[in-house]
Amino acid sequence: MPDRHVGVEAVSVDGARRTEILETAARLFASSGLRTSLKQIADACGILPGSLYHHFASKDALIVELIERYRAELDEIAKPAVRALKALRKPGPEAISEQIVALSSAVADCSVRHRAAVLLTFYEPPSAAGDKLVQAARRTPVAVEQAMLTILRLGRESRYIRSGIDLETLADRFCTTSLAVFPGVPGADRLPEIRCRILLEGVATDAPANRELDRSAAFEAAQQVVKSWDQADDDEGERLAKLRAAARAEFGRKGYEATTVRDIAAAAGLPTGTVYRLIGSKDELLTSIMQSFEAPVRAGWKNVLASDASAVAKLDALMWVNINALDRFNDEYNIELAWLRESPPKSSNLGRSFTSRLRDIKALLAEGRLSGEIHVEAPTNDIRAWALFDAVWTDVPIVRKIGTRGALKLARDSVLRGAARRT
């Protein structure tokens, strides 16, 4: 008779090797994106490429499993949050708040563990990708969003969450905020909780009415810069503007790593040689595009911060600049966000302007805390600045869904005033 223990041991070894391949692939995809080859993964595992094919038929199959493991864990995370509240007859504000923070923190931890999967779903799959990969990448984490919406509805019923705020969009805001986790930042494990507190409690000690904020010198400074953005395109040559537009769309849609100069040339309707003559290398083109994004956004921030306005009005106007930047330059924002999530084009320094904006937030926080206008509870100034910096950016899908003015209303009702009733 065959020894059953031998069969079990073989399956166990096979499973361990499969797990090792997945973990190695996740690490390489997180650092190098979709350009990572199966040979590179096999080499990192210390096996021959043929042995890798024993476990995964293709790179698509490997990516699909990474994404499905991530989605499955997100689905599991949603269950205890709803169960905990439904076990209470009338959950009070403290219980609601705890569950919002707990769910957001769990989503954030999951996104760190599955950073490669988050990055792989950030862009559209390659044009040659199979149906399974396309479907896996496009599937949204419905269970988590529904769990957050259920918690917020219970909060509305208990009069903890204020009326006049669209709960579906607010649930989306909490969930997308939870995904913005930046490993390597000291104290980053506290960021999900602090960001939740910002959205629930607000940072303004006494936020002015919307009409007053619309009339502030800071908001007027922001408006002037936003209006100037369309004029900037007229200054570029027709072919160069067309090339930039095509490259922005390709980088934003597929990611820097997966996009070739040939892809850009085809999208722009130009010969590949013409692309090289106009702009040089792919890296030079990316740098040029990001500079054309950073310059107008930087001008908006500079004008707002130099205005004769309160710290709260300046924060409000910065959110308006950012919302319009996402509406106008969403591809560039996606490129920068991917860089922040540790899949950068390594030859380009995309972090310089980001660092300067983070310094601006620190300075504005210090101004607001000194005047008593702004409060953010955090263990350090750095974490306080990181949390607020993330809060002043609204997610692109939300801006597309509810428009710029709708996104500003949401930002004011959450970041400034807090979605929860103040006691």
List pLDDT tens digits, range 235-268: 456 777 778 788 877 876 777 767 888 888 888 8
Higher model confidence: residue 344 or residue 80?
A: 80
Residue 83 is inside which H or E element, if any? helix 59-86
Q: Which amino acid is at 79?
A: K
Model confidence at 185, pLDDT cuts 50, 70, 90, reads: low
Residue 3 has pLDDT above 60, yes or no: no
> CA–CA separation, 391 vs 416, rounded Å?
10
3-state secondary structure of 110: helix
Angle subtended by helix axes 59-86 and 4-32, to nearest 10: 90
Higher model confidence: residue 197 or residue 343?
A: 197
Does the pTM surpass 0.85? The reply is no
DSSP string over 165-205: S-HHHHHHHHHHHHH---TTSTTGGGHHHHHHHHHHH-SBS
Cβ–Cβ < 8 Å for 271, 188? no
Please name every residue paired with 300 in a beta bridge, in sequence order, or none if there are none: none
Higher model confidence: residue 368 or residue 122?
A: 368
> CA–CA separation, 170 vs 163, rounded Å?
12
Q: Where are the domains of the chain?
A: 1-56, 67-203+381-414+419-423, 210-375
Mean pLDDT along residues 116-121: 78
What is the structure's pLDDT at 366? 93
What is the structure's pLDDT at 198? 94
> CA–CA separation, 7 vs 25, rounded Å?
27
Percentage of the chain beyond pLDDT 70 is 81
> CA–CA separation, 358 vs 287, rounded Å?
20
What is the structure's pLDDT at 189? 77
Higher model confidence: residue 145 or residue 121?
A: 145
What is the structure's pLDDT at 329? 83
Residue 343 has pLDDT above 70, yes or no: no
What fold does the segment set 1-56 form as a domain? Arc Repressor Mutant, subunit A (1.10.10)
- Range in 170-184, 190-204, 363-377 the model is least confident about: 170-184
Model confidence at 347, pLDDT cuts 50, 70, 90, reads: very low
What is the structure's pLDDT at 339? 61
Higher model confidence: residue 182 or residue 296?
A: 296
Q: What's the mean pLDDT when you consider all of the chain?
A: 82
How many H helices and E strands in the chain? 21, 0
Mean pLDDT along residues 104-131: 75
Same fold flag, 1-56 and 210-375: no
What is the structure's pLDDT at 362? 93
> CA–CA separation, 212 vs 309, rounded Å?
11
What fold does the segment set 210-375 form as a domain? Tetracycline Repressor; domain 2 (1.10.357)
Residue 220 has pLDDT above 80, yes or no: yes
State how far Cα 326 lies from the chain centre: 12
